[in-house]
Structure 1
Amino acid sequence: MSASLQQGAAPPALAVRGLGAGYGGREVLSGLDLELPQGEVLCLVGHNGAGKSTLMRLLFGLHAPSSGSIHLRGQPITPRPDQMAREGVAFVPEGRGVFPGLAVRENFELALWSARLDATEGARRTEEVLEVLPRIREFWTRRAGTLSGGQQQMVSIGRALLSRPSILLLDEPSIGLAPKTFQDLMTPIRALQQRSGMTILLVEQNVGEAFAVSDHVAVMKSGRIIFRGVPADLSDHAKLMEMF
């Protein structure tokens, strides 16, 4: 048992113990241990192929581990996407998670329909998200496929926020975005997280901008966590690069 649990603190929002996984006989994760503290933003960084996206898929139930265990709020769980969604976990995968042929409004409506929310509650949730990400109003009626990368990413994250998640998994949201665009996207998400107590696992390569909105950072290499600390510990990027 960890020291934090011995002292009566809340269990981690998510935790993995000795997690192993792979594809077609190729091992990607090996004996991975990681805790995601409740109410914090943890930034997970690492080289390409380190296993970061595999971990995210395991946490949401899109891939099965070969060994180890996953715990949700202190309880062991075998994740499935529908179950994790009911438990308040939302996942925004790498890339643009939108339906390009549908208007932004229709993308939201589809997410609300999938969550089985009635019109009144759907309108309330939509307004909440538009207050957090007001720029979405500017392209509300446009087809998602005509939007810029930053706009599509905003829509993708907005759709995830419609479920009012207590845990948000963000896999490489900065891909294809300029640093300023990424900052404009993440600053209101960080503000929402601090107001609501939401927990976020943020997988990122854009470490400078990601560290600015994170409480803790973990470095992953070859399927294992090799460092855990706060962003200030890695303010010298040369130290971070040495780990890769």
Structure 2
Amino acid sequence: MEILAVDGLAVNFGNVQALKGISFKVPKGKIVSLIGANGAGKTTTLKAISGNVKSIGAVVFNGHPISNRESYQLVGDGLIHCPEGRGVFPNLTVMENLQLGIVGRHHAKVNFDKNLEMGFHYFPRLKERINQVAGTLSGGEQQMLAIARALIGEPDLLLLDEPSLGLAPQVVKLIFDIIVKINKDNQTTVLLVEQNAKQALKISDYAYVLETGKILLEGSGSNLLDNEDVKKIYLGEH
């Protein structure tokens, strides 16, 4: 059963068609990745799903059409977007940033203490820096904070946009390991956009390859890792 179904999703920026009527599904409890080159439409896809850019086409989440809902309403529905660039509030402390994760989520407010401990379980470094201003954290720590804040909102579907961007290789591995743990421990469905195609495909149950606003290929993560075109174009293997 899918938690998200996208049908004919299109986005225009002026005369530029960023998405050209793409359709795909995200099964409940799975990790699904969107990979592709810069400008392929990956980030635009997440923004369209989460109500942050205008689009045409049908988007159904948990059985309900959401195309006309605002982004803050979708947070209340359990669809939480962790955007590219982390989106932490640099002048607020780690704790204050985490508290923002419950805005619009009634159940998350009730379970805040439990969910806070869960966030610290995955990212113990945040507990050590709980009173530190977020703008003074390293890039890796800011990414941890962004993901932990999203988790505190108890997402049914977590949209992750470029979580490895600008991070050192050892931190990238940590982030991807934790994404897998979050999925397995909580059955949290993840739709992942990632420039690091190899890492994304390694952890994905299913994946789609985007190119210039269209879906070029799809398949299981393992099958796409073995696909010769994917190896050559997106994984840098010859």
Q: Structure 2: which 5+ runs fail to align?
A: none
- After superposition, residues 36-75 of structure 1 pair within 5 angstroms as 36-65=26-55, 67-75=56-64
Deviation for aligned residue 1:140: 1.7
Count of aligned pairs: 233
User: Which of 130, 135, 147 is the matching residue for 1:140?
Assistant: 130
Matched, 1:152 2:142: yes
Equivalent position to 1:164, from 151, 154, 164? 154
Larger deviation, residues 160-169 vs 181-190: 181-190
* CA 113–59 in structure 1, closer or farther in 2 if over 3 Å, else same: closer
Summarize the alignment of residues 182-193 of structure 1 with structure 2, pairs less than 5 Å apart. Answer: 182-193=172-183
Structure 1, residues 144-181: CA drift from partner, whole Å, max 9, x if none? 11111110000011101111111000001111012221
Shift of 1:132: 2.3
Secondary structure of 1:202's aligned partner: strand
Relative to structure 1, the CA distance from residue 120 to residue 203 in structure 2 (aligned partners, 3 Å threshold; closer, same or farther) is closer
C-alpha contact (below 8 Å) 2:91/2:134 kept by paired residues: yes
Please give the TM-score of this superposition, normalised by the length of structure 2: 0.90
In structure 1, C-alpha distance between the alignment counterparts of 2:18 and 2:29, rounded to whole Å:
28
Conserved 8 A contact 2:108-2:152 = no
Q: What residue is the counterpart of 1:223 in the other structure? A: 213
CA distance in structure 2 between the partners assigned to 1:115 and 1:47 by the alignment: 34
Contact 2:201 2:225 in 1 (8 A): no
**Alpha-carbon distance change, 120 to 31 in structure 1, aligned in 2, over 3 angstroms:** closer
- Are the equivalent residues in 1 in contact too, given 2:218–2:224 (CA < 8 A)? no
1:119 to partner: Cα distance: 7.6
Structure 1: which 5+ runs fail to align?
1-9
Compared CA separation, residues 119 and 31, structure 1 to 2 (3 A): closer
Residue 84 of structure 2 aligns with which residue? 94
Name the SS of the counterpart of 2:223 in structure 1.
helix
Structure-2 separation of matches of 1:143 and 1:168: 25
Q: Secondary structure at the match of 2:40?
A: coil
Residue in 2 that maps onto 1:7: none
Closer, same or farther in 2 for the Cα pair 1:111/1:195, shift >3 Å?
A: closer
Q: Give the residue type in structure 1 aligned to 2:204.
A: S
User: What is the TM-score when the length of structure 1 is the normalising length?
Assistant: 0.88
